[in-house]
Structure 1
Amino acid sequence: MTESLELIEKRLLPEGCHFSDEQQAVIFEDDSMDVVAGPGSGKTTVLTARIKILLEQIKESRKGICVLTHTNVAVDEIKESLKKLGVEEIKNPHFIGTIQDFFNTFFAKKAFHLILGDKKMRVLDDDVFREKFDKQFEFRKPYYYREDLSFPNPGNWEIKWDFDNLDQVAMMMEQKSYNKAFNESISYLFKQGIITNKCCLELAKWYIEQYQEILKAIISKRFSYLLLDEVQDTSKLQFSLISSLFDNQNLIIQRFGDPFQAIYNIWDDDIDLAWEIDHSIEKRISKTSRFSDSIVDVVKNVCIEKYDDFISSSNHTSLSPYFIVYEDGDNLISKFSSLIKVLEMQNDSFKKSLKDKVIVSVQHRDLENTFGERYQRVTVKNTNVKNEFALFSSTLLKSLSKNFDDDFEDSLNKDEFRIMALNIIKELRNDNDEKIIDELSELLNGLIIDKESLQTNDGLCFEIKELLKSNFSNYAQTTSDLSVYNIGEDISLGTIHSVKGETHKATLLMLDSEFSTGYGNSSTSYSMLQLLEKYLTKNYVELSKDKSEMEKETEKALKLAYVALSRPTHLVCIGIPEYKFRENSKLLNNTLKEAGWMEY
């Protein structure tokens, strides 16, 4: 073991812990590799250690390493871990950031300015872009258009960009008048510099295709290594762009991920993994320290492939898995909370854990159907000024997008406007309507150059005030205490997507969801319980290559269950609605218990 690794272990791992042989094999691998790392196997820690080792190895060279992941949270986590290792700042020629930022910064912006000159590029979130599109489409749409008709819309559009002819977005449809209105609306926004992240990738593709050989040479000259994190979430387009730039003959590509946690595109029926694992260079990290064998057995049995080498190296003992039959949301919360209290009395490690206790389901609507208004769609989780300002800005921008075409994002970040915004946030807390209106009026007068367009200032201020009060009210309910019920039980709710990457002390997966295929009279519906029953009772059935409709839905259910049931350190539960349990109570009761599930 090197002196460098000993230092890394001391600063990143719990006292007395060491990297396993599997982990060390990855940390010191200098050739290209595909790292398949199971949940709780320390992937991010291993990746951080790998980066630190590489920084030491190539510090005398003039080349760098490029580390790409998918979220700013992941970027921050890597940077914070590197700080513990003495790496305070990542400087050129190195790059650590999201895939989207990488392509936006180095390629999409260049393409944009080649096409539109000095026009300012404004990359908007999808929901803000949708507001601006709706405003443009409203006065261009054909007379026969209705939202319930089966036309492409901003929720599911496929835009085929032609950056050499901006008047033709090239959306092929028989309804020419609709196509014209759609094209004109999108083209107008683009010419104003208003785009989405998906458009940025298309711009990057357009730019790279024109200068590919030059760009590949530049990339090869700058970087020795590409480390791609959470690779299972990389889209086909992103992979295509990476392959067109990073030549594996001239630099080393190391990819890290868990192919069984690829859940981001499943509702688009894009469930095929874009990551083609090269088994000749595959390395596996299959020991999990998150939970022990009782949860390992559950997780292995909801994997879309046999995962025989997934084992536990945990230094604590996880509890037996439980199933809870519930009548409604109140009943489920009550039973889950009671079970946790009983088990905390029996297990000191479980009792001392400060991690979250969470109930998850497949989609927001499932949680809303069970818990009603008491479930709020949480978009932010920490109550602080930064998040309140982000909420304020988002609400304000959506409102202004409906009424003006101006660019307000940069202005809102200026100190004078941030101070005004924080004053308004203060008055929102005090519920002082009159002062909110006055402060908003002053803010809008400073933001909006065209004063004639502010003739309805009072009405606009009132509209924004009501939106802010509503949003901040919901925000307070979801952030002040992550307990949905506020009955003294600190149990939070979320979708499976929202908890991906988290670690809990106790997780309960609700088996109340329906998976539907087809439309109208030809549609078929399968319950999540129906799709998972064999796997939860250890009657594992491998999915065939040519999947039936039911098997396709089973694959979705398995991927979601794998993510959900691999979150907890100690207690994993499933919740079964009473009416579903009654339909097959004898079979479920017997088979679940035979498979090791305890009833509560």
Structure 2
Amino acid sequence: MVFSKEEYNLVEDILLNGNQFNSQQRDFIELFESKTIIAGPGAGKTTSLAAKIILLLRYLHDNLSREGVCIITHTNVAVAEINIALQKAGINSISHPHFIGTIHEFFNHFCVIPFFKKKCKHNEIFFDESEKSDKEYYKHYIGIKNNWIKQEKFQNFYRQIVNRIHDNPLIYNEKLKKIDMINKDDWDKFEKYKENMIKAKFFRKIRGFLKYDDTFLFSKLFLEDINYQRILKKRFKYVFIDEFQDTTSEGINLLGKIFNGPDSIIQMVGDPYQTIMYGQPIPILQEDKIFRMNISNRFGGKVSLPLNKIMPEANIQVQEERESFKPIILIYKDEQSIYQNYKNVLDEYEMENTSFKECDKADKVLIRNRNWASRVKNGVIYSKKKNYKQVSKNIQLKNLIIDFICGKIIDEQMQPQKLKKWITDHPKIHEMNNILLNILKFNLNEDRKKQIRDIINYLLTEKNQVTINVNNSLFREFENMLCQNEDIEQHTSNEINDIFTIHSVKGETLRSALIVNFDDGPFVNILLHQYGILGEANYTYTDKNLLYVALSRVAYLFVFAVHEDKLTEEGKSILESHWDIRKIN
């Protein structure tokens, strides 16, 4: 598919402020065959993908085509970015037959909800990672099915089997075409109780109480019907998966099951060398199915040289005119001297270089371990910034009770959302509000515990469930919640704004970055090994990818703090070709 000069002018005005896509980006925009797009740092992946989608949707609209475009993103932030670009191009929303969303949203919408409608005759599902409510349910279920287990002498076994139901995941056994369970801890009695355990867990799920990963379990069940695969395949001609290296392999495999074939164009876009979640496998790539976007607009050659030494597979190319500085290895003896010397380096470059001084990108210290923050900057505590939604203590306590009652009630005739609404709207819950206010004003004494107990038991009795007493663990949670008087502003007041984990800055562009490597951190060994200074080094591909991600964030300058004991004179002489070696006096 080839687009006209006028069409490129449109997307370049919208996305590049009048600048132009380079030849490699244009080749990607006009590429319409199934490929894996390896897009290096600063290669303009997101912008080029947005341009491709804009031009494709305009083409389909102008040709009255009903071929659908499916865009799978890793986060909702990416969804928002693409939607904003589309709106600027006059495409107000992505509507039928097209789709944009995360992989979980895709499978929930097209597989999980239809499965529940067809097989369970309802679509009232919600995702809850709460451990307690699940275990309460499994305890009741197993107790009802096996009344003998409630005897005092079996209490330890009772707890064990409930924990195993919770901890052992359900899977879809494709060979046997049925739901199965994994025996995670090789329990010798697993086969004997397996059927009851599966039923307890599956029955909980088909009532609508799902976990994050259940999306793929129920999608597999739904897609066993080849007709549903055909419907999706027929609807979506074009499938784009953004940040494929961060997308769960289970989801990628399911998408492949649907869309691999001559009738679909499926493109996975991302950078496998930025796979930085521990335990996550690097995607397996077929060289003949790869299209590379490796020209970076982020930094110049002085950053790309050491970057390619550490990750030669990436083969990052740069624009000749792009300016950056020779990275610095800062040799230190005292950890507490690192931070101030890094700041001194920044002052030095601001005095010497106007572009660096006027750059509006941030300078950040990048750490692998959050506990290292106080060692870089004395007395600070690492705290990840969050937008907190303040919820009153009264509402927190009320929600705790409602969730507890939901977990205690087994009602096969009432779906979970309706059950929760029945509890929330019950007159006794409204009556409880005054009791909670008195607890907050005064305290939780025995009388008020009994009042709460009586209200809970009133609802449980209505549903023919076992009642509780004031020794129930609920009241310990109640007391713990009352003791938690932390002030959110106090929590964030000690927060520092220039020390971050490498994971937290993935995808960002920084003006400069400092990386530290304390204790048994692997980064120095990776550096020395890749430059041939160390013959052998024990590190994982994830650690190597982390260093690659940290290095590739910067537009201008990277500073690597290395302890003086780690670097010999011979090592310094080898590194000097790519690095400015400075010792802190």
Q: Which TM-score applies when normalising by structure 2? A: 0.75
The aligned counterpart of 1:419 is none
Separation in 1, partners of 2:545, 2:13: 35
C-alpha distance in 2, partners of 1:453/1:249? 61
Counterpart for residue 527 of structure 2: 532
Distance 1:328 1:375, change over 3 A: farther
Bigger Rg, which one = 2
How far the C-alpha of 1:370 sits from its partner, in A, is: 6.3
Aligned counterpart in structure 2 of residue 491 of structure 1, from 482, 485, 498: 498
2:86–2:92 CA contact under 8 A, matched in 1: yes
Structure 1 window deviating more from structure 2 (47-56 vs 171-180): it is 171-180
Deviation at 1:23, TM superposition (A): 0.6
Q: Which residue of 1 aligns with 2:508?
A: 502
Rate the CA distance shift 1:529–1:400 in 2: closer, same or farther, 3 A: farther
- SS of 1:192's equivalent? helix
The percentage of counterpart residues that share the same residue type is 22
Deviation by residue 1:217-237 (Cα, 9 ceiling, x = unmatched): 212321221111112223332
* Counterpart-to-counterpart distance in 2, 1:278 and 1:161: 31
Q: Which whole-Å deviations, capped at 9, do the CAs of 1:397-429 have from their partners, x for residues lacking one?
A: 7897678627689979xx99xxxxxxxxxxxxx
From the superposition, tell whether residues 168 and 236 of structure 1 become closer, same or farther in structure 2 (CA, over 3 Å): closer
**C-alpha contact (below 8 Å) 1:167/1:183 kept by paired residues:** no
Following superposition of structure 1 onto structure 2, how do residues 392-411 of structure 1 map, counting pairs within 5 Å? 405=407
Tell me the matched-pair count.
531
Superposition pairs of residues 317-356 of structure 1, within 5 angstroms: 317-326=323-332, 330-356=336-362
Describe how 1:118-137 pairs up with structure 2 within 5 A: 118=122, 120-125=124-129, 128-129=130-131, 132-133=134-135
Pair 1:598-2:584 in alignment: no
Which residue is 1:89 aligned to? 93
User: CA-to-partner distance for each residue in 1:522-556, whole Å, 9 max, x for gaps?
Assistant: xxxxx432233132x47799xxxxxxxx7773433
What is the one-letter code of the residue matched to 1:72?
A: N
Counterparts of 1:173 and 1:10 in 2: how far apart (Å)? 58
Other-structure match for 2:256 = 243
RMSD: 4.8
Contact 1:27 1:46 (8 Å CA) reproduced: yes
* Native 8 Å contact 1:137 1:182 kept in 2: no
The match for 1:296 is 304
1:65 maps to which of 48, 55, 69: 69
**Separation in 1 of the partners of 2:261 and 2:477?**
55
Q: Secondary structure at the match of 2:337?
A: helix
From the superposition, tell whether residues 446 and 500 of structure 1 become closer, same or farther in structure 2 (CA, over 3 Å).
farther
- Tell me, in whole angstroms, the C-alpha distance in 1 between the residues paired with 2:165 and 2:155: 14
- Report the equivalent of 2:28: 26
Return the alpha-carbon distance in structure 2 between the equivalents of residues 258 and 221 of structure 1. 29
Contact 1:160/1:171 (<8 A) preserved: no
- Residue deviations 1:134-166 (CA, integer Å, cap 9, x gap): 99689999849999xxx99978x6543569999
Q: Distance in 1 between matches of 2:372 and 2:179?
A: 42
Alpha-carbon distance in 1 for matches of 2:537, 2:299: 29
Aligned-pair distance for 1:8? 0.8
* CA displacement 1:26-60 (0-9 Å, x = unmatched): 11223333322110110000000000011011111
**Partner residue of 1:556?**
542
- Cα distance, 1:173 vs. partner? 5.3
1:286 matched residue in structure 2:
294
Residue 355 and residue 63 in structure 1: after superposition, are their counterparts in 2 closer, same or farther (change >3 A)?
Answer: same
In the alignment, does 2:181 pair up with 1:198? no
8 Å CA contact 1:170–1:183 kept in 2: the answer is no
Taking the TM superposition and a 5 Å limit, the aligned residue runs for 1:269-284 are: 270-274=280-284, 276-279=285-288, 281-284=289-292
Is residue 2:84 matched to residue 1:101? no
Find the aligned partners of 1:567 and 1:234 in 2 and give their Cα distance.
Answer: 21
- Is the CA contact (8 Å cut-off) linking 2:125 and 2:417 kept in structure 1? no
1:243 alignment partner AA: G
C-alpha distance in structure 1 between counterparts of 2:334 and 2:159, whole Å: 37
CA contact (8 A) 1:65 1:224 kept: yes
Paired letter, 1:493? F
- Secondary structure of the equivalent of 1:374? coil
State the distance in 2 between where 1:563 and 1:261 align.
6
1:3 maps to amino acid = E
Cα gap change, 1:165 to 1:291, in 2 (>3 Å): closer
- One-letter code aligned to 2:171: K
Q: Could you tell me how far apart the structure 2 residues matched to 1:354 and 1:448 are?
A: 60
Aligned mate of 1:464, from 471, 481, 505: 481
Rounded Cα–Cα distance in structure 1 between residues aligned with 2:442 and 2:29? 58
Residue aligning to 2:520: 514
Do the aligned residues in 2 keep the contact of 1:229 with 1:255 (CA within 8 Å)?
Answer: yes
Could you tell me which residue of structure 2 aligns to residue 12 of structure 1? 15
Question: Contact between 1:130 and 1:154, CA under 8 Å: does it hold in 2?
Answer: no
Q: Report the equivalent of 2:181.
A: 169
CA distance in 1, matches of 2:337, 2:419: 48
Q: How far, CA to CA, are the matches of 1:298 and 1:448 in structure 2? A: 67
Q: Which runs of 5+ in 2 are unaligned?
A: 143-148, 409-415, 426-439, 461-466
Give how far 1:84 is off.
Answer: 2.2
* The one of 314, 319, 336 aligned to 1:313: 319
Distance 1:9 1:391 in 2: 51
User: Contact 2:137/2:407 (CA < 8 Å) preserved in 1?
Assistant: no
Question: What are the superposed Cα offsets for residues 146-202 of structure 1, whole Å, 9 maximum, x if unpaired?
Answer: 99xxx99978x6543569999963426542357888986775454333222212212
SS in structure 2 of the partner of residue 197 of structure 1 = coil
Output the CA distance in 2 between the equivalents of 1:391 and 1:570: 47
List alignment gaps of at least 5 residues for structure 1: 417-432, 484-489, 516-526, 542-549
Residues 344-368 of structure 1 deviation map (CA, whole Å, 9 limit, x = unaligned): 2222222222322222233445557
Q: Contact 2:380/2:494 (CA < 8 Å) preserved in 1?
A: no
Q: State whether residues 40 and 290 of structure 1, in contact with CA within 8 Å, keep that contact through their aligned partners in structure 2.
A: yes
Q: Relative to structure 1, is the Cα distance of residues 555 and 382 closer, same or farther in structure 2, using a 3 angstrom cutoff?
A: closer
Q: Secondary structure at the match of 1:93?
A: coil
Equivalent residue, structure 2, for 1:521: none
More off after superposition, 186-195 vs 401-410: 401-410
Q: Give 2:46's aligned residue.
A: 44
Per-residue deviation at 1:326?
4.6
1:359-406 deviation digits (Å, cap 9, x = unpaired): 22334455577679733341xx35475xx5699999997897678627
Distance 2:91 2:457 in 1: 44
Q: Label 1:165 to 1:58 Cα distance change in 2 as closer, same or farther (>3 A).
A: closer
Matches within 5 A, 1:149-160: 159-160=170-171
Residue 573 of structure 1 aligns with an amino acid whose one-letter code is V
Question: Does the 8 Å CA contact 2:336/2:378 hold for their aligned counterparts?
Answer: no
Secondary structure of 1:176 counterpart: coil
User: How much has 1:296 moved relative to structure 2?
Assistant: 1.1
Residues 307 and 62 from structure 1, CA distance in 2 versus in 1: closer, same or farther, beyond 3 angstroms? closer
Which residue does 2:265 correspond to in 1? 252
**1:507 CA displacement:** 1.6
Q: What secondary structure, in the 3-state scheme, does the structure 2 residue paired with 1:102 have?
A: helix
Alpha carbons of 1:570 and 1:435: their partners in 2 closer, same or farther (altered >3 Å)? farther
Q: Which residue of 1 aligns with 2:431?
A: none
TM norm structure 1: 0.74
Q: Secondary structure at the match of 1:531?
A: helix
